[in-house]
A and B are shown apart, each in its own frame.
Chain A
Amino acid sequence: GAGVSQSPRYKVAKRGQDVALRCDPISGHVSLFWYQQALGQGPEFLTYFQNEAQLDKSGLPSDRFFAERPEGSVSTLKIQRTQQEDSAVYLCASSLAGQGLGTEAFFGQGTRLTVV
Chain B
Amino acid sequence: AQSVTQLDSQVPVFEEAPVELRCNYSSSVSVYLFWYVQYPNQGLQLLLKYLSGSTLVKGINGFEAEFNKSQTSFHLRKPSVHISDTAEYFCAVIPISNFGNEKLTFGTGTRLTIIP
List residues of chain A with CB under 8 Å of any chain B CB.
4, 31, 33, 35, 40-45, 48, 50, 55-56, 59, 91, 93, 95, 98-105, 107-110
List residues of chain B with CB under 8 Å of any chain A CB.
4, 6, 32, 34, 36, 41-46, 49, 51, 90, 92, 94, 96, 98-109
Closest chain B CB from A40 CB (angstroms)? 8
With A42-B107, A103-B102 already in contact, 16 other A-B pairs whose C-beta atoms are closer than 8 Å: A4-B43, A42-B108, A44-B106, A45-B105, A48-B101, A93-B44, A98-B101, A98-B102, A99-B99, A100-B98, A102-B32, A102-B102, A104-B46, A105-B104, A107-B36, A107-B43
Closest 9 CB pairs of A and B: A42-B106, A107-B43, A102-B32, A100-B99, A107-B44, A102-B51, A45-B103, A109-B43, A98-B102
The residue in B101, B106, B109 that gathers the most chain A C-beta atoms within 10 A of its C-beta is B101
A100 and B97 CA atoms in complex are apart in Å by 7
Residues in A neighbouring B34, C-beta threshold 8 A:
102
A41, A55, A56, A100: the one contacting B96 at CB < 8 Å is A100
Determine the residue in chain B with the shortest Cβ distance to A31: B102
Q: Is the CB of A100 within 8 A of B41?
A: no
The residue in A31, A42, A103 that gathers the most chain B C-beta atoms within 10 A of its C-beta is A42
Residues in A neighbouring B104, C-beta threshold 8 A:
33, 35, 43, 45, 105
Q: Is the CB of B44 within 8 A of A56?
A: no
B42, B94, B99, B109: the one contacting A42 at CB < 8 Å is B109
Taking A42-B107, A102-B32, A102-B49 as contacts, is the C-beta distance between A55 and B101 under 8 angstroms?
A: yes
A99 and B51 CA atoms in complex are apart in Å by 13
A-B contact pairs, 14 of them (CB 8 A): A33-B104, A41-B109, A42-B6, A42-B109, A44-B106, A91-B43, A93-B44, A99-B100, A100-B98, A100-B102, A101-B51, A104-B49, A107-B44, A109-B43
